[in-house]
Amino acid sequence: MTSPDKKYPNLNLLEVSVENNLEMVARDGVTLRADVYHPNDSNKYPSLVCRTPYNKMTPRYVETATDLASRGYCVVVQDFRGRYASDGNYEWMWRERSETHDSEDGYDTIEWAAVLEWSDGRVGTWGHSNASWAIWMMLDSCPPSLTSTLASGISKNILDINFGIFETGRRLEWTYMMAADMRRRAERIDGPTTPVEAVKRWNQVERGKYLWWLPLGDIPDSVFSDLNDQLQSYYGAQNQEFQHFSDVHPKVQTPIFQITGWWDRLIGTIDHYEGLITNGRKDLREQHRLIIGPWGHDATQFTGKIGPIDYGPMAETTYADLISRWYDFDIKGIDNGLSDEAPVQMWVIGEDKWRGEHEWPLERTEYTPFYLHSQGGANTVGGDGYLSIKPPMPGESEHDKYVYDPKDPVMSLMRADSQAAPVDQSPHDHREDILVYDFPVFDSEIEVTGPVSLKLWAKTDAPDTDWTAKLSIVYEDGLAVNLTYGIMRAQYRNGYQNPTLLQPDEIGEYTIKLNPIGCLFKPGQKLRLSVSSSDFPNFDRNHNTGNDYWSDAELRVAQQTVLHSRQHPSHLLLPVIPR
């Protein structure tokens, strides 16, 4: 990857003109409106399309579109149907693909952008998160004018984002923010009518009330305005996979450049790359690209400083730089060094530099079990839990216990907007309901890069509960920073489509999928696994009752036991990379 301290050339910048609210009539007669940014001259340029539900006039869109247009592109930013300047009814992404118009609207917009008077007929895409969901929806329809694709910050599967559990913190805030425009359109006066006002009010006034509301489904209808009906339907659909984007991979007709970060909640973006290589067109497989930076979900913050760690200027770039470098290469045919790089570019934490790889996961991976051990007192960071590459032996303590009380859940350590980020974990050091297993201080380097899972044998006296796993790096000075996390609701142990409640103290075997990591542990550092039963409000509290969470006001205390014996050898499975 081009070193970001040598910024991608911004030479010969062009003066930009903006055409506001240009109308495109979709195939069903609904009018969608877009702002088009283009160089202020008579030349024609490739079009780059972004469709968004977040208001095309939001500063991040205006700034990125202006930047890209100054580099010689015709840039389209369009409001989704039913959002802001566009007509029609808004149907959000948390539903079956066939229930929205986004595949058709995406197709129509690509073809419309190809014939704009400032366009040379070649079209690419850009847009992060929900805007990239719209890109994948569009890819299903195969518009003929699409020449190349960039998508970022969107997972292949919804169930790899929520693990079948309502994301209380992020989803309620997001819905409250999205409801502001619904309220404005309906001329309602019972709440905020702009997203800025909504986010401010949520964090200053409403968040502390509605996160803890019981039953969750009884939050007053007016809080989420005309989005309430869609939210109510979504409450009961947490274990459903709506996206089915694996079905799209064989249909993709262009090279795709994808962007994510190690702390991106939607790091399942990586699975798109893997799916395209495995199931995509063979003649395109060597042309796809993936970058994984030391970043979170926010595309405006591809910086070196995240949380308590500063990875330096080499880790920094901008969204516009990544977009323009891709399209300069793939559409304009400029030799900018991208063709000389390996297709997967990732920042290895600890090594703190970019490294190119030719596949994901890495072929040289040695999947290694790290077994849980203790003398029966792994509770808190001062407990006796530890990890070892040796399995449990006879005579060792075979379990650890803790009490999970949903009235006092383990609180998520995250950004104020409920997005994941590297955070100092010390506020939880004292909690007796967190089991801590450390690998002894490393005396040599060890790299762990790839998919991570925890095989956990456990039991509870409740008919349902949750099991959480968090992996952290403990630095030489004792600072512990989270690397990845995962969670499993016990009723999904046999699959999301086969929810099954537990019998009291039934021993269950759980395979907990954690997000992938890429970290080089150095001598003097430690690897830490934390096991518990809540991560709130990142995920909704399990009430331990087995009842539907959205209609249940009861909270039950659960007695939890994690087993680590020869018969039940709980272990992390880590992707160790030989060095």
Six-digit token string for 558: 């659960």
pLDDT reading at 527 higher than 60: yes
Residue 9 pLDDT: 72
Q: Are the C-beta atoms of 329 and 336 separated by less than 8 Å?
A: yes
**Residue 49's closest CA among 109, 8, 4?**
109
User: Rounded to an integer, what distance in angstroms lies between the CA atom of residue 209 and that of residue 212?
Assistant: 6
User: Rounded to an integer, what distance in angstroms lies between the CA atom of residue 62 and that of residue 39?
Assistant: 14
| pLDDT tens-place string over residues 162-190 | 999 999 999 999 999 999 999 999 999 99
pLDDT reading at 310 higher than 80: yes
Q: Residues 68-93: what's their mean pLDDT?
A: 98
Residue 474 pLDDT: 98
| pLDDT tens-place string over residues 396-426 | 899 999 999 999 999 999 888 888 999 999 9
Residue 1 pLDDT: 62
Provide the percentage of residues in the chain whose pLDDT is more than 90: 96
Q: What are phi and psi of 530, to 5 degrees?
A: -115, 130
**Bridge partners, 344 (sequence order):** 290, 357
11-34 burial code (b ≥16 CB/10 A, e <16): eeebebeeeeeeebebeeebebbb
- Mean pLDDT lowest for which of 58-62, 395-399, 496-500, 554-558? 395-399
Six-digit token string for 9: 């050339």
With vertex at residue 243, the alpha carbon angle to CA 237 and CA 244, rounded to the nearest 5 degrees, is: 115
Tally: H helices and E strands in the chain: 10, 23
For the entire predicted model, the pTM comes to 0.96
**Cβ within 8 Å of residue 546, ≥6 positions away:** 462, 463, 464, 491, 501, 502
Q: For CA atoms 209, 212, 214, 218, give the dihedral sign.
A: positive
Residue labelled with tokens 């150095």: 522
Q: Are the C-beta atoms of 132 and 50 separated by less than 8 Å?
A: no
Residue 418 pLDDT: 80
Six-digit token string for 112: 């419309």
| pLDDT tens-place string over residues 9-50 | 767 899 999 999 999 999 999 999 999 999 999 999 999 999
pLDDT reading at 4 higher than 50: no
